[in-house]
Amino acid sequence: MVRAHNFNAGPSALPLDVLKKAQEELIDFKGTGMSVMELSHRSKEFEDVLADAKDRLKKLMEIPDTHEILFLQGGASLQFSMLPMNFLQEGKVGAYVVTGSWSKKALKEAQNFGETVVVASTEDDSFTHIPEVSVNTLPENTGYLHITTNNTIYGTQWQDFPNFGDVPVFADMSSDILSKKVDVSKFAVIYGGAQKNLGPSGVTIVILRKDLLNQQNSGLPTMLDYTTHIKANSLFNTPPTFGIYMLSLVLEWVEQNGGVEGIQKRNEEKAALLYDLMDEFPEFYTPHARKDSRSLMNVTFTMPNEELTKDFLQKAKAEGFIGLNGHRSIGGCRASIYNAVPIETCQALAQFMKSYREAHLQSVK
C-alpha cells in the first residue's frame, strides 16, 4: 500500500514503526495468547504496560518526583471542568490567557465553578499571536493561571514561558506535548489528549504537582477527584488499555529517534520547509500567525481567494495530501505536522505548493 501524506489535525499521524509493532503483537501480546485489548487491566501484563508508559514519559519529559502522572479519559475537554472543580477556591480567581477556541472553551467551563478573569487575549487580532503576560498582569488573588500552549486552529504557539512566581500554572499541551523541551517544574499541571503527539484518541495525560492536593476543594464526585486516580494508579475504573499500550510504543519510538531533543530538531526542520516557502510567496500563501508566534505543529495559511483555495485542496487531495483543510470555523488551509509526520511528507507538500503556484501563474498569463 501507499501511505497517505497525513496532515490531519487529530486524530493524526502515528509512526509507521509503531503501527507495525502493534500489528505484530495484536493477536498474541508477549505470549499471553491474547491481544492487549483482551487483557484484564488488573493483570500483571497490563500493569507492566502501564508502568512502562509512566516510566518512559517521566524520563523523556524529565518529570520531577514532585509531580504525579495520570492516564485518564474524557479528553482535555473534561479537564476544562475538572481543574477548576478541584482547585478554584472561594476568594480566588482563575486567570486565563485566551489565545484561541480551546482556551475560550476552558474559560467557559471554569466560569461554572467560581470567579474567573481574562488577563490577556488576542481575539481582537484574530488570534494571530501570543500576548505578552507576566506575573504583574495577574490579580493579587489569582488562584491559578491557565494557558493553552499551542493553538491548532490558528497556528500559534508559546515560544517560551515566563516565570509566574508562586502562581500555579495549568497548561493545556494537547497539541504540542513532547514536541520540544519543556521545563515541567514550571507547571503545576500539564494536561492533554494523546491523539496528536502521543498515540490514538482515548487517553488523557495529566501531570500534576502533588502539593496542589493540599488546596483541593471538598465534596467532589469520586470520578472527578484527582486524589481518586492518584491513589488507584490510574486504575480506579477500567482505563483505555489499548490506548495506553499504543502510547507506550510511541514513547519508545521517541526514544529511538533522539528523544525530545531529536524530535524538536526534526519539527523545526519540517516547519521551516513550509514557512520559508510562504515567506518567499506571501501574496499567494499568506501565514495566519505572526512570525514571533508561529507554531511548529500547525501551519495555517490563506490563499488569494476562496475559489483558488478550493481548487488547491482538491488537487492536493488527488495527490495524496490528506487533512489540509483549515478548521471549519475560519477556513483557509492548515498543515498539522505533529511528531510522527515524516520530514519527507513536508518536503513533498512544499514541492506541491511551489508547483501549484507556478502552474496557476502560467494559467492566468
Give the whole-angstrom CA distance, residue 331 versus residue 120. Answer: 25
Give the whole-angstrom CA distance, residue 97 versus residue 115. Answer: 15
In this structure, what C-alpha cell is assigned to residue 26? 495484536
Q: Which of 172, 180, 253, 270 is catalytic?
A: 172
Q: Which long-range contacts (CB under 8 A, 24 or more apart) does 129-134 make?
A: 129/156, 129/289, 129/290, 129/292, 129/293, 130/99, 130/156, 130/157, 130/158, 130/159, 130/292, 130/293, 131/97, 131/99, 133/97, 133/162, 134/162, 134/164
172 is in an annotated binding site: yes
102 is in an annotated binding site: yes
Q: Is residue 214 within 8 Å of residue 167, measured between CB atoms?
A: no
Q: C-alpha 300: how far from its chain's center?
A: 16
Considering Cα of 131, then 136, then 140, then 144, what sign does the dihedral take? positive
Q: Which of 158, 176, 180, 196 is catalytic?
A: 196
In this structure, what C-alpha cell is assigned to residue 244? 495506553
Note if 180 is an active site residue. no
Q: Which of 54, 102, 225, 253 is catalytic?
A: 102
Note if 196 is an active site residue. yes
Give the whole-angstrom CA distance, residue 163 versus residue 68. Answer: 22
237 is in an annotated binding site: yes
Q: Is residue 152 within 8 Å of residue 298, measured between CB atoms?
A: yes
Q: Is residue 96 within 8 Å of residue 119, measured between CB atoms?
A: yes
286 is in an annotated binding site: no
The H or E element containing residue 94 is strand 93-98
Q: How many helices (H) and strands (E) does the chain have?
A: 9, 14
Residue 146: exposed, middle, or buried by beta-carbon count in 10 A (0-12, 13-18, 19+)? buried
Considering Cα of 200, then 201, then 203, then 207, what sign does the dihedral take? positive
Helix, strand, coil in percent for the chain, rounding step 5 = 40, 15, 40
195 is in an annotated binding site: yes
Note if 183 is an active site residue. no
Binding residues for pyridoxal 5'-phosphate: 76-77, 102, 152, 172, 195, 237-238
Active site residues: 102, 172, 196
Binding residues for L-glutamate: 42
Binding residues: 42, 76-77, 102, 152, 172, 195, 237-238
